[in-house]
Amino acid sequence: MVVPTKSFVGLDIGSRQLKIVEVSIKKNTPIVVQHFVTNISEMAVNAGTILNTQYLGEKLGEISKDINIKGKKVITQVYGKQVFSKILVMPYMNKKEIKKAAGYMAATFSPIPINNTYYDVHPIRVIESENVKKVEVFYVAAKRDQIDALKNICKIAGLKLAAVDIEPLAVNRLLNEDIEFYAYLNIGSSCSTFALLSEGIPLFIRNIPFGVSTLYENFNIDELSQLSINDILLQDPDLIRSLLLELQYSIDFAETKPEILYIVGGGAKIRDVSMFLENYLSIKIGNLNMLESLALKSVDNSNEKDKFKSDLAIALGLAMRGVS
């Protein structure tokens, strides 16, 4: 008897596109079963904020039927200003007590109103000093209405929402090496995200008002790979300067320079962007080496494979949560 292989679908809902990656696992090897990218209305999502639930649900439902993922478990994400995280230091207690106490504490620091959040906590480590035992905790909260919108989108589409994740954790699953302190930059369509992580835990997440959507119109191109960083510097140096200032500010804020910077998202396809940022920031640009151990069943050429380092990186990392 053949035992059905369990698979999970990673769903990345961007401002311009829906990105889907289905992953299963066989003999401890993750297998990319299929992937799919389609354009969506620019009125449906704006910088992570879902604006048209019905449209997205119906669009996703059509795709789900076409690629045969109806009824499958989906892992998606919240990003941008819809999510907030913070490292807390609290008196030592069990996780149930930590979560309750963090909910009260959040009223003093969270930019998202407490009555409009779903939140969770993850104890990181125990700290003992002068006979006082404390615990370091990762606190993350997302806007309730956005989570509810994701639930409704999946319900309309006939999919089972298994989990809602955050972007830094999705990226972290694409690394196959132990790095104590690293950063990643997701250059998206309408905004970008810069995050610093220590041993896989996000310490700092910054939303940057820099997106690549305007580049398509300004340079009359179909693909960002047609564009080089020098092309942008010649035509609109202020655009790049604003991104560099945001990145430098974020790194200075952390006070410790990350060992490696990973670049994902559509902007990662801009030619020479990695070399440019490496020289400017004096930080090594890394490769998402988990891709080397993936069985890319749905990929038959190098151009498609490169998409998993850029456009499809987040969707892949989300799907990997289900099989990790």
Same domain, 131 and 190: no
CB atoms inside a 10 Å sphere around CB 293 = 10
Whether residue 96 lies inside any domain: the answer is: yes
Same domain, 139 and 180: no
CA atoms of 36 and 34, how far apart (whole Å)? 7
Owner of token pair 């990973």: 262
Residue 302: its pLDDT value, please?
64
CA atoms of 284 and 232, how far apart (whole Å)? 22
User: 198-249: per-residue pLDDT in tens?
Assistant: 888 998 899 998 888 888 878 888 888 899 999 999 988 988 999 999 999 9
Residue 253: its pLDDT value, please?
82
Same domain, 268 and 196: yes
Whether residue 191 lies inside any domain: the answer is: yes
Contact between 311 and 18 (Cβ < 8 Å):
no
DSSP characters over 209-260: S--SHHHHHHHT-S-GGG-BHHHHHHH-HHHHHHHHHHHHHHHHHHSS--SE
Provide the residue type at 27 as one letter.
K
Distances (CA, A) of 231 to 31, 252, 269, 301: 37, 28, 14, 27
Provide the residue type at 130 as one letter.
E
CB atoms inside a 10 Å sphere around CB 37 = 15
CA atoms of 45 and 41, how far apart (whole Å)? 8
Please, which residues bridge with residue 127 across strands?
Answer: 134
Residue 305: its pLDDT value, please?
75
Name the band, by pLDDT with cuts 50, 70 and 90, for residue 129: confident
Residue 128 has pLDDT above 50, yes or no: yes
User: 142-195: per-residue pLDDT in tens?
Assistant: 999 999 999 999 999 999 999 999 999 999 999 877 788 999 999 998 889 999
CATH number, domain of 116, equals 3.30.1490
Residue 300: its pLDDT value, please?
63
Residue 293: its pLDDT value, please?
64
Name the band, by pLDDT with cuts 50, 70 and 90, for residue 268: very high
Residue 239: its pLDDT value, please?
86
Whether residue 198 lies inside any domain: the answer is: yes
User: 30-86: per-residue pLDDT in tens?
Assistant: 889 999 999 999 899 998 899 999 999 999 999 999 999 999 999 999 998 899 999
Residue 28: its pLDDT value, please?
80
Name the band, by pLDDT with cuts 50, 70 and 90, for residue 274: very high
Question: Looking at residue 188, what DSSP letter applies?
Answer: -
**Closest C-alpha among 293, 222, 228, 282 to residue 251:** 282
Whether residue 267 lies inside any domain: the answer is: yes
Number of separate domains in the chain: 2
Same domain, 277 and 186: yes
CATH number, domain of 278, equals 3.30.420.40
- Main-chain phi, psi angles of 277, to 5 degrees: -70, -35
- Where a domain ends, among 143, 167, 190? 143
Domain span at residue 139 reads 81-143
Same domain, 112 and 183: no
Name the band, by pLDDT with cuts 50, 70 and 90, for residue 279: very high
